[in-house]
Amino acid sequence: MMTLACLDTLGINTLKDGDTYYSVLTGNTKLMGQGSTFSAQSPIDGVTLSTFNNATPAQLEKVNAELKDAFKVLRTIPAPRRGELVRRIGDEARKYKNELAQVISLEAGKIVPEALGEVQEWIDVCDFAVGQSRMLHGLSIVSERPGHRMMEQWQPLGPVAVITAFNFPMAVWAWNAMLGLVCGDPILLKPSEKAPLCALAMYQIAQNVLADMPDIPKAAVSVMIGDRELGEAIASNTTFPLVSATGSTTMGREVAKTVAGRLGRSLLELGGNNAMIVSDTADLELALRAIVFSAAGTAGQRCTTLRRLITHESIVDGLVERLAKSYGSLPVGNPLIEGNLVGPLIDEGSFNRMQTALDTAKKQGGDIICGGERVTENVPAGGFYVRPAIVRIAHDAPIVHEETFAPILYVLTYRSFDEAIEIQNEVPQGLSSAVFTESMREAEMFMSPAGSDCGIANVNIGTSGAEIGGAFGGEKETGGGRESGSDAWRNYMRRTTNTVNYGGDLPLAQGIVFE
Ligand code: UN1
């Protein structure tokens, strides 16, 4: 593929021996994995981009020793200095934005504007984290006892493991790592096996900066590339007080159980089944644009992708007709070619799951309005390109309650706004949601305690494309975690409550007399 030059520019090609890349990277140590060999293919054309050996649980032990040593140093470095590290990493990400985006496109199949947007999330969260590095505030609290005062401090937590998915290979690491670093935690990344070069690119950028900051331990930014066995070893290891995992609900359930078994903390961002309510009062021009980006963008492979359109029955026919027209003109093809808006699915398995979901929808009474078929003309051979699908179906058809990680939009109808909210909330997932309405009552109702039960509830914008400044994540099977903005930094710290006696007496709390 002609764009592989980005790997040279980013220095990723130095991270290999022969044709095989290193799987264990701690800044001090570069090792081949000792497990089985695997290779990662580009979803664009199926061509092999990289070959690795899986890192093993035994190798994790060695890395953990380095992470623990790194933590001892990192926790004592003033937080603004750790912010300086993140600021410089952000500068490098700015400098290599195009090359980084290319690696995302190659491995995840994103169209270039969306890949650039993902790198921008990394850059933005760096800025956010740099500011936060001077604002790791605790409270000061009045004491009930004379001559005492109380305060809270936020302390570094320890090494944090970050397990990521293929679809946001840079942004999700960055949300966790940039904040974790300013909080004083070394970060071990276990990336998706479908996007290992993205991990190497981020590692290399961070190590270039660390080379210039000798007071900061290099293992603060570490990577291990491995399979499920490595993931399990990480989840069960007490080295990591926090495991942050993004991916399927099935994976999250396993991680959560294992981490909870040792009473560690997990930060989960799992499946979504995101809905938009389109009211009969909605501005349909705005709604249409939002629907197409949210449902067909990223080929339906965002956890925030719009999957259920809950439409007022009086407007559904016209809306579906206009949507089908927009879908018909969506350029599907090579994501590296300007103008294409829908790139490939990640792999054949994903294509098969989409086909199965469409067959199931038909069996459950669904009517496929358009799309779903494989596109083979004017696309690179070896990639799995599809036309995004629109399916009219009942809101309670079982398939509608599942997340299929592909561009299928289920169109459902409602009569009363209360019913719309009930439909919105009736699925097991709870990530993102939206309403299009010009009615202030409906908008406020949607955001009220009796409204959407999701972590994200938007008005007159789509379900996907959240800014980094907000806390990102969702409820129910989405896992309950919040990452990125707002006060998500607290996940990466431990809170201490300090009570200080500056008096000459020793009064006990609650007025207890013990003498
Ligand atoms: C994901 O798909 O895992 O809100 C994250 C969005 C992006 C992040 C998606 N900022 O769509």
Q: What is the 3-state secondary structure (H, E, C) of 316-351?
A: HHHHHHHHHHHHHCCCECCCCCCCCCECCECCHHHH
Provide, rounded to the nearest whole percent, the portion of the chain with pLDDT above 90. 99
A 10 A CB-CB count for 95 gives 11
| Ligand 1 closest atom vs CA 456 | 4
Q: Is residue 128 part of a domain?
A: yes
The structure's pTM equals 0.97
Residue 435 CA to ligand 1 centre (angstroms) = 18
Looking at residues 419-424, what average pLDDT do you find?
98
Give the residue, out of 123, 168, 176, 467, with the most ligand 1 atoms within 8 A of its beta carbon, to mutate for a pocket test: 168
Report the length, in residues, of the chain: 515
Name the band, by pLDDT with cuts 50, 70 and 90, for residue 3: low
User: CA geometry: angle at 405 spanning 477 and 469, to 5°?
Assistant: 65
Q: Is residue 93 part of a domain?
A: yes
| Ligand 1 closest atom vs CA 432 | 4
Q: What is the CATH number of the domain that holds 123?
A: 3.40.605.10
pLDDT tens string 437-493: 999 999 999 999 999 999 999 999 999 999 999 999 999 999 999 999 999 999 999
- Domain containing residue 200: 22-270+479-495
Q: What is the CATH number of the domain that holds 347?
A: 3.40.309.10
Residue 466 CA to ligand 1 centre (angstroms) = 7
Pick the catalytic residue: 6, 183, 198, 303? 303
Please indicate whether residue 438 is annotated as part of the active site.
no
452: Cβ contacts below 8 Å, ≥ 6 apart = 421, 424, 425, 433, 435, 446
Looking at residues 329-344, what average pLDDT do you find?
98
The chain-wide mean pLDDT, for the chain, equals 97
CA dist., res. 238 & res. 316, Å (int): 53
Q: Is residue 36 part of a domain?
A: yes
Looking at the fold, whether 266 and 281 belong to one and the same domain comes out as no
Looking at the fold, whether 241 and 374 belong to one and the same domain comes out as no
Pick the catalytic residue: 269, 403, 442, 477? 269
Nearest CA to ligand 1 atom 7: 465
Q: What's the number of domains the chain is made of?
A: 2
Ligand 1 neighbours, Cβ below 6 Å, are 121, 167-168, 172, 246, 302-304, 464-466
- Tokens representing 81? 């200095």
Q: Is residue 456 part of a domain?
A: yes
| Ligand 1 closest atom vs CA 121 | 10
Please indicate whether residue 99 is annotated as part of the active site.
no
Q: Is residue 15 part of a domain?
A: no
CA dist., res. 353 & res. 114, Å (int): 24
Looking at the fold, whether 108 and 220 belong to one and the same domain comes out as yes
Q: Is residue 7 part of a domain?
A: no
pLDDT tens string 354-407: 999 999 999 999 999 999 999 999 999 999 999 999 999 999 999 999 999 999
Task: Say what the pLDDT of residue 1 is.
Answer: 46
